[in-house]
Amino acid sequence: MESQVHSKVQKYYGGIAKSITQGQHKSCCGCGSTGNQSCCNGISSSAVIYKGESLDDLPKEAVDTSLGCANPVVFAQLKEGETVLDLGSGGGINAFMAAKQV
């Protein structure tokens, strides 16, 4: 059972990673709605989650591969000089955002 779950998760997220590297990843979902509240509205999930924070100076790959699950840096209360370890499994956007603060 555990290997089936692992295989399905690997296939799902591996497919997303491949589509991003091939320039085919368009949206976080397969829905048909494109309104402002929809995840298919053309606005990246990173732009929504990191609203008000500049993503311009981050590597495009990190922003593109962020699946928009959370922004833990907002809650971390980081201070200059601290060390940050990102244990995530995404493109590293949180590490890049934290690096701006420490």
Return the SS3 of 23: coil
- Going from N- to C-terminal start, the domains of the chain cover 44-99
Residue 26 has pLDDT above 60, yes or no: no
Q: Band of the pLDDT at 38, cuts 50, 70, 90?
A: very low
Residue 70 CA to residue 49 CA, distance in Å, equals 7
Q: What is the CA radius of gyration of the chain?
A: 15
pTM: 0.58
pLDDT at 50: 73
Residue 24 CA to residue 60 CA, distance in Å, equals 15
30-45: average pLDDT: 52
In single-letter form, the type of residue at position 100 comes to K
The Cβ of residue 94 has, within 10 Å, a number of other Cβ atoms equal to: 23
Distances (CA, A) of 79 to 27, 49, 96, 99: 34, 21, 15, 10
List % helix, strand, coil for the chain (3-state, nearest 5): 40, 0, 60
